[in-house]
Amino acid sequence: MSRARRAPWRGVPQQAADPGRPRLTTSAMIASIAGPDQRTRPAPFGHALVELARTRPEVLGLTADLAKYTDLHVFAQAHPDRFYQMGMAEQLLMLAAAGLAHEGFVPFVTTYAAFASRRTFDFVSQGIAEEGLPVKICCALPGLTTGYGPSHQATEDLAIFRGMPDLVIVDPCDALDIEQAVPAIAAHDGPVYMRLLRGQVPLVLDEYDYRFELGRAKLLRDGAEVLIISAGFMTMRALEAAKRLEADRVSAAVLHCPTIKPLDEATILREAGRSGRLVVVAENHSVIGGLGEAVAGTLLRAGVVPPRFRQVALPNAFLDAGALPTLHDRYGISADAMVRSIRGWL
């Protein structure tokens, strides 16, 4: 018996759509997450890697036919003799990086997060991590940063990779975070998975007294009623949400936690242990297996139980295709949706 798909399809036929509601178009594969008036920097990963390579001759760049879409092309242009095009073969990409690391090099490899996590897990585990090799896996399209649908939406990459022993995991917020994380992960003598934002990347954290430190969470702003613990670009959204809540006289703190593993448990316990605050963990990732559950486990194991604990995260589902602003709002990770959620929880 055939299991071929039949109606209802996930999309809505034109004639059935609400004529009063404009339909946004899905942009190119990688839409910028920058707002219209937001300050940005171009290709922070590529430029930071070029800068790092000036003083670290062992740094190499490898990709699986996605240099242009991960900003590695900037490195390839600056250091063509240190760039390897491995073809659209992600398993080989990881293994060849392992081989180069065996020979003393520090390979930065790029692809999309969905392919690195789902397709190459065993090769990262047994080729790289079990050997403790310093391969830096830097992946574009983490979480919900494309409207192309589940094939490219890595909504569970953190859940997949958190289970891998000895793998350090980083989810930077903005251009500044990426620029500072690149030399920091290179200095770590072991494997790293880092989520990338590419193209015109928002610049936010320069307005705060902040510096990226591997393994450290940083309090960006303090607040008495809500503590938002966040990673990735959701820290940008959390800062925006906190400003809007302030206008309503709701005081929210934001603790940016760009290193997902190892988690800065001491700082999280200290902040979550301060009495009475609503604790919200915000992440560009499935509600399963990401920062939220990592924080929850940390709190429970230490006997720190905040009066209320909530997650702003993507649902455990194969998400829709469409325009990113629509999808971020639909799944609750836009600043608007976040403010609505937090108000509802207070």
Partner 1 sequence: MDARKAVRANAPGLEDRARNIRRHALRMGEVQGQGYIAQALGIADVLAVAYFHALAYRPDDPAWEGRDRFLLSVGHYAIALYAALIEAGIVPEAELETYGTDDSRLPMSGMASYTPGMEISGGSLGIGLGIAVGMALGLKRKASDRFVYTLMSDGELDEGPVWEAAMSAGHHRLDNLICIVDVNRMQADGPSTGVLNFEPLPDKWQAFGWFAQRVDGNDIAALVAAFDAARNHAEPKPRVILCDTRMAKGVPFLETREKSHFLRVEPHEWALAIAALDEGRTA
| Interaction site with partner 1 (CB under 8 A) | 84, 86-87, 89, 91-92, 94-105, 107, 122-123, 125-127, 130-132
Place of tokens 């997060």: 113
Q: Which is nearer to partner 1, 96 or 158 (CB)?
A: 96
Task: Tell me: cis bond preceding 191? Omega within 30 of 0 counts.
Answer: no
Token readout for 260 is 């997902």
Token readout for 248 is 């309503």
The residues with which 59 forms a beta bridge, in sequence order, are: 106
Q: Which is nearer to partner 1, 89 or 302 (CB)?
A: 89
Fill in the amino acid letter for 161: F
Catalytically annotated residue among 51, 58, 90, 156: 90
Question: Is residue 90 annotated as part of the catalytic site, yes or no?
Answer: yes
Instruction: Give me the least distance between CB of 83 and partner 1, in Å please.
Output: 12
Cα gap 92→120, rounded to integer Å: 9
Instruction: Give me the least distance between CB of 244 and partner 1, in Å please.
Output: 49
Q: Which is nearer to partner 1, 117 or 286 (CB)?
A: 117
Residue 92: CB atoms within 10 A of its CB come to 15
The residues with which 308 forms a beta bridge, in sequence order, are: 278
Q: Which is nearer to partner 1, 90 or 179 (CB)?
A: 90
Cα gap 231→217, rounded to integer Å: 9
Cα gap 101→103, rounded to integer Å: 5
Instruction: Give me the least distance between CB of 316 and partner 1, in Å please.
Output: 28
Instruction: Give me the least distance between CB of 46 and partner 1, in Å please.
Output: 21
Token readout for 189 is 């003598």
Fill in the amino acid letter for 24: L
Total residues found in the chain within this entry: 346
Which residues lie below 8 Å from residue 88, measured CB to CB, with a gap of 6+? 64, 65
Instruction: Give me the least distance between CB of 86 and partner 1, in Å please.
Output: 6
Enumerate the active-site residues: 90
